[in-house]
A and B are shown apart, each in its own frame.
Chain A
Amino acid sequence: MKNLYLIAFLDLKESIRAKWFLVYSLVFGGLIALFFIAGVTESQVMGFSGLSRLLLMYIQITIVILPIFILITTVRSISGDRDNHILEYMLSFPISLKQYYWGKILGRFVTVYLPVLFAMIVAIIYGSIKGASIPWDIFFLYTGLLFAMSSVFLGIAFFISSFVKSSEVALGIAFFIWILLLAFIDIAMISLMMSQRFNEELIIFIAMINPMEIFRVAAISLFDPELTVMGPVAFYILDLMSQTTFVVLSILYPVSLGILFSFLGFKIFQKRDLV
Chain B
Amino acid sequence: MIKVNNLTKKFGEHISLDNINCEFKKNDYIALMGANGAGKTTLIRSILGYYHPDNGGVLINGLDPIKERVKVLENISFVPQLPPPIKLSISELMQYVSVGANVDKQKIIHYANEMKLDIKTNMNKSFFKLSGGMKQKLLIAISLAKQNNIIIYDEPTANLDPKARDDFYRLLKQNEDEKVLLFVTHRLEEVEQIVNRQIYMDLGKIVSDEVIS
Q: Give bound CA distance, A63 to B69, whole Å.
A: 41
Q: Which among A91-99, A166-174, A184-192, A227-235 touches the partner chain?
A: A91-99
- Residues of A within 8 Å of B, CB-based: how many? 27
**Chain A residues near B125 (CB-CB < 8 A):** none
Interface residues of A in 233-275 (CB under 8 A from B): 271-275
Q: Is the CB of A84 within 8 A of B84?
A: yes
B residues 62-121 near A (Cβ < 8 Å) are 69-74, 76, 78, 80, 82-88, 92, 95-97, 99-101
Q: How long is the Cα–Cα vector from A91 to B70 in the complex, in angstroms?
A: 10
**B residues less than 8 Å from A271 (CB atoms):** 52
In the complex, A273 Cα to B10 Cα: how many Å? 11
Q: From known contacts A95-B70, A96-B70, infer whether A85 and B50 are also in contact, taking CB-CB under 8 Å.
A: no
Task: Identify which of A2-10, A129-137, A144-152, A200-208 touches chain B.
Answer: A2-10
Given A93-B73, A94-B74, do A10 and B88 touch, yes or no (CB 8 Å)?
Answer: yes
Q: Does A42 contact B (CB under 8 A)?
A: no
Complex interface: chain A residues within 8 A of B78 (CB): 89, 92
Is B48 at the interface (CB under 8 A from chain A)? Answer: yes
Q: How many angstroms from the CA of A13 to the CA of B74 in the assembled complex?
A: 26
- Minimum Cβ distance to chain A for residue B98 (Å): 10
Q: How far is the CA of A95 from the CA of B87 in the complex (A)?
A: 19
In the complex, the answer to whether A86 meets B45 with C-beta atoms within 8 Å is no
Q: Are B100 and A94 in contact (CB under 8 A)?
A: yes
Contact A14 B88 (CB under 8 A): yes
With beta carbons under 8 angstroms apart, the residue of B52, B96, B99 that contacts A90 is B96
Contacts of A95 in B (CB 8 A): 70, 73, 100-101
B80/A97 in contact, CB under 8 A: no
A96–B66 Cα gap in the complex (Å)? 10
Task: State how many angstroms separate the Cβ of B61 from the closest Cβ of chain A.
Answer: 14
* Distance in Å: Cβ of A1 to nearest Cβ of chain B: 12
State which size class the interface on B falls in.
Answer: 20 to 34
- Is B139 part of the binding interface, using a Cβ–Cβ cutoff of 8 Å? yes
- Assuming the contacts A86-B84, A94-B71, asked whether A6 and B99 have C-beta atoms less than 8 A apart, the reply is yes
Which residue of the partner chain, among A6, A89, A90, A275, contacts B95 with CB atoms under 8 Å? A6
Q: Complex formed: what's the CA distance from A275 to B42 in Å?
A: 10
Quote the shortest CB–CB distance from A157 to chain B (angstroms): 18
Q: How far does the Cβ of B155 sit from chain A's closest Cβ, in whole Å?
A: 13
B80–A85 CB distance below 8 A: yes
User: Which residues does B use to contact A, with CB under 8 Å?
Assistant: 45, 48-52, 69-74, 76, 78, 80, 82-88, 92, 95-97, 99-101, 139
Q: Which 3 A-B pairs have the closest CB atoms?
A: A94-B73, A92-B78, A85-B84
Name 22 A/B residue pairs within 8 A (Cβ), A-sorted: A6-B95, A6-B99, A6-B100, A7-B96, A13-B92, A14-B87, A84-B84, A86-B86, A89-B80, A89-B83, A89-B86, A89-B139, A90-B84, A91-B50, A92-B48, A92-B73, A93-B96, A94-B71, A94-B72, A94-B100, A97-B69, A271-B52
Contacts A2-B99, A86-B86, A90-B96 aside, 15 further interface pairs with beta carbons under 8 A come to A6-B96, A13-B92, A14-B87, A84-B84, A84-B85, A89-B83, A89-B86, A90-B86, A91-B50, A92-B73, A92-B78, A94-B72, A95-B70, A96-B69, A97-B69
